[in-house]
Structure 1
Amino acid sequence: MYDDDKLRKPPRNLRMDYRYIDQEDLSNPGSEYTRHADFQEEVVKFSLLDFLSEHVPDPGFIAGLFPRGDVSLIVGDTAVGKSMLAMQLAVSVAANRSFLGQSTDTRPEKGNVLALFREDIKSKVHKRLTKIISDLSIPPEIAAPHLRVHWLSPEYRELCTIWRNCEPTTGWALLNEIIDQLKPVDLLIIDTLKIAFDDEMTGPLSVRRFVAALRDLAIARNIAIVCVSHTNKEGKAAGTTEWPNHVRAVFRIAKHYDHYLFECLKTNYDRSTVAQPLVRTANGAFALLPEPEMATRRAAIDKSQNSRCRELFLAAIRTCSETSGRQKEGFSRHKKARNYAPKAIAVSLRAQKIKVTQAQLETVMEALLSEGLLIEMRKPRKHATMVLAVSESTEGVQGSGHLFEAVKDLRPDSDTGSH
């Protein structure tokens, strides 16, 4: 009626307080018990002093920014120049030239660069490479032996996608084969990530497996892997947060007024995070903006932005005054009031996707008050709060009243937060 073996050896899922281990399990080299014993023996053998005295070479960086043996991201908006920047990095490393003022920091034995531009056809890649080599004044015979570029072509169609449905594709095996042929390899560039990763960009499990596979490849070959990706509305890497969380460095290229900014959003290696101002040459290559010229441009930008903020602020006050339907409406200069002018106007402008901060509007408001272009007046009502109004001396100042449809709907109430 009862099986003695089942009574003597309960199922594994019921073994909570003890384990039944017979002689056969201990004698089997592949059993979980012998593997556990081997692991314990390795832990016992570990010595911290021996480990610290061991010489562990530093893998180093490519161009002082991208760590070897790991994965980095370059993100940016559409048509901002991500591919050109990645191609410039590839040419600089292949020719052992500086990249945006940073040394390429290659190994003593010159390594190679493998760049996959899977969005572009052959003619486009050829045109861009020609322009970059010309702008950097690099003889083609210097970069050519160490640079291999793949574009969108039928011969290497498998390289377009190296990951699909949480698993590597045949393109992954082909990629490893090409790296073995080119070794030693210093740098691998994948442009763009969305094409190489043919899966849900928001799928955390697949993203983790893909980044882990890239990292294993980078560690095994001691190379730096740089992936190019688009940004989302917040200016971060598109897709799930697993992308920036699992890579070791994230860089962003963005347009900033009349120049560009190349900044580090994340780094685990204590590298500089100062945004570098860049300009583009006639052929599209990026170059560092000299500090004197940057100071001149910054002063011009600040002046232009301040003038724009003044115009927007005056237009908002004037528009609110002209469209007020109730006597208690208006903007206050006091921070504790709900109708605090800089805050209310900044909220209205953000709703219309106009990039002006509350701090900028506060500075402008104080300047306008000190210049007499903005005054405080009391509404004809008992216990009414002082509200802002445009001085008669600013009648000639043209405002952008059409920008303030949202301001009309704010209807700030001076009864709240009275002073």
Structure 2
Amino acid sequence: MNVHHDPFADLPPADDMPPDDRFGPPHNPFLEDAVPRASRFFPASEWSGKPVPPREWLVRDLVPSRTVTLLGGDGGTGKSLLALQLAYAVATGGAWLGRGVAGGGALFISAEDDEAELHRRLADVVQSSGGSFDDLDRLTLRSFAGEDALLAMLDRSGGVLLASALFHEIEKRIAEENPALVVLDTLADLFPGNENDRAQARQFVGLLRGLAIKHECALLLLSHPSLSGLNSGSGTSGSTAWNNSVRSRLYLERVIQDGYEANPDARLLSTKKANYGRNGGEISVTWQGGVFVADAPETGLDRMAAGAKAERVFLKLLAAFTAQGRRVNGNGGPTYAPKMFADSAEAEGVTKRAFKAAMDALYNKGKIRNETTGPASRPVTYLCMGDA
């Protein structure tokens, strides 16, 4: 008599078995053991008669408190130094790029630079300000160069980010010191997932934003742009969720026009996103003596003088090119006047952008005009002096 043997009879109870896809979805303790949320729902009428809380800033219009700001920049541009200068200003109650900052403690965490490099950079910052290392008891540094610096880990499904042991260590330090600013340098060393994955990007920023809200601090996260973000000037990298998830995004870049960098020490800090302020703001800075210094703001008279010079040089070059039989046009292409003039040895330092603004102004004043020649099938339009 044949007796059927159950192949599963000798297996241990299901609760003692490891997860196996053959027997259904894997056991996920992160979901099953989760603590129920204690959400607070309330009617908006609860705010009746209460004052509207003011917006809290670390640096007004640039770095808001209680949230995450993303500071991007290509490698070697100087974003780590700029962030270190901000941490120094917060810890000493000073100014950053000529702007006031909220005073308090600062925690600077670097996964790129070792302690010796941080020491050298901070020494330049201290010297430039006329201060002393004795004044920096509220600035805490930690280098993870050469160490595991991941602030999160992926669960077994590979889709959920969980805070790492290092994350909890840093949060404990934040709770102890109560800093006004936490700097994390850089995203590539701290994030364990795929930067093109929208869900993972949002989860990671959510973890950091939770820190900022809970401990009432500004969190500055440094990042590198992708090649396309670098070439386009957007400064982005990976999923659009990085830009969408943060409340503020700044970008530090070199000043390059038409492939030429006139001043290797010049940088431009621009506001690419500002949920609580105005987009498009720009701060020109120059590297001097180991630190970045804000350039003197251009006055209305400065702009008028620069515009007048650009118009004068434009007319001078147009006359010279016309006398040489070299036609230029105002519409683009190989003979585009602003480009041709900017490339001339007689440009007197006027840029292509300035020549474009001058050309528009001269059109409006009637000092230049378009002339068209040639057959109707192939007309040629070029610039010539106007009648004004």
TM range (shorter): 0.5 to 0.7
Q: Tell me how far apart the structure 2 counterparts of residues 164 and 346 of structure 1 sit (CA, whole Å).
A: 56
1:87 is aligned to 84
1:238 is aligned to 237
2:251 is aligned to 252
1:63 is aligned to 59
Change (3 A) 1:296 1:285: same
1:264 is aligned to 271
Q: Tell me how far apart the structure 2 counterparts of residues 199 and 364 of structure 1 sit (CA, whole Å).
A: 51
Alpha carbons 1:188, 1:224 under 8 Å: kept: yes
Summarize deviations over 1:383-414 as a string: whole Å, max 9, x none. 763544999xxxxxxxxxxxxxxxxxxxxxxx
1:179 aligns with 2:174: yes
Structure 1 residue 359: Cα displacement: 4.8
1:52 is aligned to 48
Which of 65, 72, 75 is the equivalent residue of 1:75? Answer: 72
Give 5+ residue unaligned stretches, structure 1. 1-34, 322-330, 334-340, 392-419
1:105 aligns with 2:97: no
Q: Tell me how far apart the structure 2 counterparts of residues 319 and 198 of structure 1 sit (CA, whole Å).
A: 62
Q: Tell me how far apart the structure 1 counterparts of residues 48 and 376 of structure 2 sit (CA, whole Å).
A: 79
Q: Kindly tell me the number of residue pairs found equivalent between the two proteins.
A: 320
Give 5+ residue unaligned stretches, structure 2. 1-35, 155-159, 256-261, 344-350
2:117 is aligned to 124
Q: Tell me how far apart the structure 2 counterparts of residues 295 and 359 of structure 1 sit (CA, whole Å).
A: 20
For the pair shown, which has the larger CA radius of gyration, 1 or 2? 1
Alpha carbons 2:69, 2:249 under 8 Å: kept: yes
Change (3 A) 1:56 1:90: same
1:191 aligns with 2:188: no
Change (3 A) 1:383 1:80: closer
Q: Tell me how far apart the structure 1 counterparts of residues 187 and 311 of structure 2 sit (CA, whole Å).
A: 36
Change (3 A) 1:180 1:343: same
Structure 1 residue 242: Cα displacement: 0.8
Change (3 A) 1:383 1:239: closer
Which of 272, 280, 283 is the equivalent residue of 2:287? Answer: 280
CA RMSD of aligned residues (A): 4.4
Alpha carbons 1:135, 1:285 under 8 Å: kept: no
Structure 1 residue 101: Cα displacement: 2.5
Letter in 1 for 2:291: G
Q: Tell me how far apart the structure 2 counterparts of residues 247 and 132 of structure 1 sit (CA, whole Å).
A: 28
Change (3 A) 1:274 1:386: closer
Summarize deviations over 1:194-217 as a string: whole Å, max 9, x none. 111132221111100001111111
TM-score, normalization: structure 1?
Answer: 0.62
Structure 1 residue 271: Cα displacement: 5.5
Alpha carbons 1:73, 1:250 under 8 Å: kept: yes
Alpha carbons 2:307, 2:358 under 8 Å: kept: no
Structure 1 residue 174: Cα displacement: 2.0
Letter in 2 for 1:193: L
Alpha carbons 1:261, 1:275 under 8 Å: kept: yes
Letter in 1 for 2:206: A
Which of 165, 173, 182 is the equivalent residue of 1:170? Answer: 165
Change (3 A) 1:80 1:308: farther
Alignment of 1:34-45 (within 5 A): none
